[in-house]
């Protein structure tokens, strides 16, 4: 029952449990058993990210990159993607490579873009493999 799950996630979040904070972010973002509230979702994702939860770090980077719930901030997107990429999040590795390739949020650096595309591709990201091939064959 979503009400019970929601209750226990809120209880765990009160104790700064990073997984609970992340899950509450999802609940608010998707409106799961709760009124949809993207601002509140971002707050929970950010708290989780700041406690080192890698998936939340990627999510916060994504939100800053695309401005889905807040204003776009490519520098902050870059910083969160970098932390999550270094922590092993494949989507963050691919996204970080893309920012390096385009010089968004950081200086353009093709060598680093290649590195992160390769890393993501090695971890099974097909999108990174395609981007790497396009970059190397352009």
pLDDT by residue for the chain (138 residues), tens digit each?
777 877 777 788 788 899 999 999 999 999 988 899 999 999 999 999 999 999 999 999 999 999 876 789 999 999 999 999 999 999 999 999 999 999 999 999 999 999 999 999 999 999 999 999 999 998
Contact 101, 108 (CB under 8 A): yes
Q: Output the domain CATH number for residue 80.
A: 1.25.40.10
User: Is residue 12 one of the residues assigned to a domain?
Assistant: no
**Can you give the pLDDT at residue 134?**
96
The helix/strand count (H/E) of the chain reads as: 8, 0
User: Is residue 63 one of the residues assigned to a domain?
Assistant: no
**Can you give the pLDDT at residue 19?**
92
DSSP 8-state secondary structure symbol assigned to residue 16: T
User: Is residue 33 one of the residues assigned to a domain?
Assistant: no
Q: What is the DSSP string of 62-75?
A: HHHHHTSSS---HH
For the chain, the domain total comes to: 1
pTM (predicted TM-score): 0.89
């Amino acid at each position: 029952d979503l009400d019970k799950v929601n209750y226990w996630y809120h209880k765990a979040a009160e104790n700064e449990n990073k997984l609970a904070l992340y899950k509450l972010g999802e609940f608010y973002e998707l409106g799961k058993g709760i009124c949809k509230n993207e601002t509140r979702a971002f707050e929970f994702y950010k708290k989780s990210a700041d406690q080192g939860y890698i998936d939340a770090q990627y999510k916060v980077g994504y939100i800053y990159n695309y401005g889905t719930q807040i204003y776009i901030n490519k520098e902050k997107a870059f910083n969160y993607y970098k932390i999550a990429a270094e922590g092993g999040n494949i989507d963050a590795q691919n996204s970080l490579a893309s920012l390096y390739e385009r010089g968004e949020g950081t200086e353009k650096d093709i060598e680093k873009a290649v590195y992160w595309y390769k890393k993501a591709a090695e971890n099974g990201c097909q999108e990174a493999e395609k981007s790497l091939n396009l970059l190397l064959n352009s």
